[in-house]
Amino acid sequence: MIMSNAYADIPLATGSRFAGIYLTKIVPREWLYDAILVDYTTGKVITAVTLLSGKNFLQINTVPESSDYTELQKNAEAGDYFELKLTGIITAYGPAAQLALETYRYHEWVVIFIDQDKNLRIAGNKEQGMRFGADFKEIGKNGGNTSYGMSLIMESPCRAPFYSP
């Protein structure tokens, strides 16, 4: 079965077991107008992120307590690199969200997110982006709650820089 492409925001679903939101903004790297320039001596982005005409960031809302960002230093024969990983639980899952999430896995993404220290960060660029994955998990036995997780992963030569639009 092949699903058609659908680009959509993943909104917050309200309910007794969810409170608050954690917003992640994503855009396919092909939608960037220019490369994002970073000053690696300060670790900050020095240019504004500009998108092609008519394109906008998509939003994914996740449960705040579920969101996690890690930067793991790895070693390889080709050289050292960092594995950047952003995860969270998606609260609004249904047919429209499933169609959008299936579309997301075919792209590499530039991602703007807030880390655990409340810093705005950006991962990805015109040349390389984060890969998207979504998974389903049932929590508890005998028909417990369900969880829909998302993960964005990327191998990068440096840590995700800080961003202030």
Which pLDDT tens digit goes with each residue over 3-60?
Answer: 456 667 766 554 433 334 467 899 999 999 999 999 988 989 999 899 999 999 998 8
Q: pTM of this prediction? A: 0.81
- 125 located within any domain: yes
Is 71 within the bounds of a domain? yes
Task: Evaluate whether residue 15 is within a structural domain.
Answer: no
φ and ψ at residue 80, rounded to 5 degrees: -75, 150
Please tell me the total count of domains within the chain: 1
Check residues 37 and 101 and name the one with the higher pLDDT: 37
Structural domain boundaries, residue 116: 22-156
Distance CA 2, CA 38 (A): 39
Domain-located, residue 1: no
pLDDT of residue 140: 58
Q: Is residue 83 part of a domain?
A: yes
Report the pLDDT value the prediction gives residue 86, as an integer from 0 to 100: 93
164 located within any domain: no
The set of long-range contacts for 43-49, using a CB threshold of 8 Å and a minimum separation of 24, is: 43/159, 43/161, 43/162, 44/161, 44/162, 44/163, 44/164, 45/122, 45/161, 45/162, 45/163, 45/164, 48/165, 49/110, 49/112, 49/122, 49/163, 49/165
Higher pLDDT pick, 107 / 147: 107
- Residue 122 confidence (pLDDT) above 70: yes
